[in-house]
Amino acid sequence: MTDYSLTLSDQEIERYRLMAQAAEHRERELWGVAGAVPGARIADVGCGPGAVSVRLAALVAPDGAVWAVDRDDDALAVAAALAERSAVPVHTSVGSADATGLPEGTFDLVMLRHVLAHNGGHEQAIVDHLATLARPGGTVYLVDIDASSFRLRGAPGEFDEMDERYRAMHRRRGNDLSVGTRLDELLTAAGLEVVAFEGHTDVLTPPPGMRGPAWAARDALVAEGLATPDDIARWDEAFERAEPTRSGLRFFAASFVAVGRRA
């Protein structure tokens, strides 16, 4: 499985929180159709810091619960703390997207968000595994990107250079940054009936300090020889110079959602 490339800084946790807020606002009705209703059992695979997990748990409480799985101990620690603070039923455990360790055939809804694009060559194996976790009549809910749409309007010119290095890293790893456009095919190949497949464009105003996934992956870029410490310092300086005029900063990104139901 490909190593995860993002550093879980405070800015990254805030980015996840904003993404979760936008996701619930936009997808709330589809979450319900897919099974996020009171009393439901939900698996949130690749949960990261749990921003979506706690929102799902609030919907299924008090009789339902969310099982949040990630392979990053730091992310799970954040997820557990957030769940405790939010007083919602979330159980955290270590596992990978294609080997969660969760019991098969027991979940009303199995969700995977923004994971497939980071696991080159394993996309179908992951979705096949998720399909085994859903109970008969349960669903698998996939969300992922088409990174060719990504734009950060108002960013310094150095952003484009940094972004291209980030894309080069993913190409080198065999990752498909447009995997969102074929989520329905992955569900069908896993033996599920596709009941929804739609796309949208997020328009976000990044809060101070947020510079996107390419910046969050800077350590990985250096480790793989795609950037130097001098590059990182230069990009940092450029963002600092742009900070006073960031009022016009907007991030644009296309995402896709697909839901498959198990017979």
Q: What is the pLDDT of residue 3?
A: 45
Q: What is the pLDDT of residue 1?
A: 41
For residue 122, the number of C-alpha atoms closer than 13 Å in the C-beta half-sphere is 17
Q: What is the pLDDT of residue 12?
A: 58
Q: What is the pLDDT of residue 137?
A: 98
Q: What is the pLDDT of residue 245?
A: 76
Report, as ranges of residue numbers, the positions in the chain whose pLDDT lies below 50: 1-7
Cα-based distances in Å from 214 to 15, 150, 172, 196, 207: 13, 11, 15, 30, 16
Residue bearing tokens 């085994």:
132
Q: What is the pLDDT of residue 33?
A: 96
Q: What is the pLDDT of residue 256?
A: 97
Per-domain boundaries in the chain:
10-261
What's the pTM? 0.87
Q: What is the pLDDT of residue 244?
A: 80
Pick the CATH number of 10-261 from 3.40.190.170, 3.90.420.10, 3.40.50.150, 3.40.1050.10: 3.40.50.150
